[in-house]
Amino acid sequence: MIKKERRYKRMHEISLLRTIPYSDHQRWWNADTIAVVTGANRGIGFEIAHQLAAHGITVVLTSRDAEVGEEAAKVLQEGGLNVAFHQLDVIDHDSIEAFTAWVKETYGGIDILINNAGVNFNFGNDNSVEHAKQVIETNYFGTKYLIKAMIPVMRPSESGARVVCVSTRLGRLNGRRNRIANEAIRKQLSDTANLTEEMIDDMVALFLKQVEDGTWESGGWPQSFTDYSVSKLAVNCYTRLMAKELSARPDGQKIYINCYCPGWVKTAMTGWAGNISAADGADTAVWIALLPPDQPVTGKFFAERREINY
């Protein structure tokens, strides 16, 4: 009991720290606003769900593991927050289909989607591509599958629906660290005007092929956190692609999609080696999701509430 009371007190303190000082006319959301957060049973996802719910939004917390997801939702519910749980495995098409049907039946649709679910098997300074296929499938294809499933159920509004993808600076095309050395790939993926989903899929397919035949090190791929970096590069490119497609929608049906880097967060995914708290890592995702309607932003990459280059 004492442990739970301490956790509730900590959550309340975080809520106070993370309050976004919007004026009444900027506050476009209310208790009827529905936000879905994937992979939210722990870490950054849990904190994003907590912070959104603390702003008065109804949050659907999802997790691949139903038992741990239900427990995470219960913790937030017992803290007085409006949080529901539903099982969701982003790489299982049947799971996505069942979740989509449940969302439509229960809420009629959603307003915010936070794509947080992901995996990483490289901790510290170690590098490996042993799990490359699983990392690409979960981080890139899982994100893409869910975005495609949720777009039709994102509710039209004057404020616009919001999609935020949790990514990393390691997946930047033009970053000074860990960038792709293959100039042809970099040039192709940098050309947003001509970028296609097939190009992104072809890029990850080439990477996986070179992993399989043992030539990835000479293929110009990032030399640290390789599979994770490539998976998030694909997410970043897909975010820009979807922003271009969704920006053509008429007013009232807009969907704004952006990605962000939470930083080196101290969570299970980093082997607890990070130097940023999960609460700090979640902050920018919530900030992007709740930007005022008079500040529409789409297709951008953020870190620490600032736009950075892809």
- Tell me the catalytic residues: 228
Q: Two tokens at 282?
A: 């979640």
Cβ proximity of 151 and 211 under 8 Å: no
Closest listed residue to residue 140, CA positions, set 270, 236, 46, 207: 236
CA distance 60 to 103: 9
Q: How many CB atoms lie within 10 A of CB 238?
A: 22
Which helix (H) or strand (E) segment holds residue 303: the answer is: strand 301-303
CA distance 166 to 308: 14
Beta bridge partners of 154: 110
Cβ proximity of 121 and 131 under 8 Å: yes
CA distance 40 to 70: 10
CA distance 219 to 215: 6
